Structure 1
């Protein structure tokens, strides 16, 4: 019981540490109304303390028609207001996000005209503004969503834990390539299906099952290495099956960011490509780290792996219970 309590406590500590460093995007939505006013909705994540200082600034003089209404919902601080800028449209003007330099997160921006034309952008600290009516080139959109994909996988600790567990499960380069390829193919399939609305599954259920997939692989890693299990004999099958679940998780993230309506296909393709590049970067770093450990402290490498397996398994079990709750 003491051992179980120890690993459970370690998992709680790991979850707290990971959550404390996980960043999330803010969302700014502007909608033109028929009476020449603009509805402004600004959502800032509660988990990132720095973003609460973010301010919106219009390049044109705008004033409140309806006073600001601020409330908390689903982990966000939401500010809603209706403004008038003495013009029929904001086209040609700029929207600035002040104090963004103090934060390492971006703001997903959406502007919808009365004619239901939509402009979407990601506002970042290095360029904390957006020009209304200014369209992005194909290359700009591609690079933006490529970067988003890389960032998403690198802060998606549950996805990284699963990939890490797969790395520990296989012991040869050909089998590793086969396993990672199966995982990539699977989550690419469900990412596309979910993004286009062909398949819809509850996000809560998917997030819980992703955590459970990590628990399953961790349990397989702790079994006797001489046992003929499906996971050890056919790791690519396990990677493919659970990869389908992880694809829905990626789709959920992309749905929050939104597809660029001007370049829909490139948005999806380059986001997925970014996920793959980030995944390969992580795999490369893990392999290099273990190679260094084998040189510096070869006697302790297996012990380190065992501790890591207990850590990720316990953390994932905690996530599973938390996400179902």
Structure 2
């Protein structure tokens, strides 16, 4: 492998992410980042003109999130959010969505909401689609089903507009999973639509499990984890059990997988397995931020 070629290091990290060797993936992407930032300095051009910079720090942020290192992840997604996209403006949503999505995942909805609302009136339909979807996720978490449905409708409308200008269909493939995920969660959360929600959730899980690219694979991991959490919140034990097993199939090494397996074992009265899996989760999150550990392990 070429140790000074940033892209070769980054591509190696792609595979490391999915083999459980996240420490080495982080090392490779940090080295990539260092090479690229030095290049911008010596060559005298801004990082916003290098598409690969945003891609690399996005994956690095996902790896930090994987390990519960939220403050480090946040610094990178904030940089991504604040970086202008002078070319391929239609893909600006890729820069913008990571920061509010991370905040929502960490239950920092009050910080995420203004960003999400701002995206709903952004220049490109892709940003608008993501913005409405993020607003809908926050509304759903607060039990506001009807407002969440309106946000979903607005997101789908913006997605339709984005598709008009998407001749390659690449943009649509990036955007479509987000409103589909929101739609499934809304239906699942409504007792009157639960059967429909279960069907949609299972379809979404099948699609998520089929992701293989580094960005969608990692995003699918956190979405599968969210489904497990929502299933428990709704007291849907069968769904929680099945979804935990799917999460384990997607990534058995993820600390969040061990955390989910611990909860499932505890629910079944298997104290030994619950204790073992929780210990594995703690080991996997050994570098995690204190607030993250408090949020996960100190719940009453």
Which has the greater radius of gyration?
Answer: 1
Give me the TM-score of the superposition, normalised by structure 1: 0.24
Give me the TM-score of the superposition, normalised by structure 2: 0.26
Q: Which has the higher helix share?
A: 2
Q: Which has the higher strand share?
A: 1
Per chain length, whose mean CA-contact separation is higher, i.e. which structure has more relative contact order (CA < 8 Å, sep 6+)?
A: 1
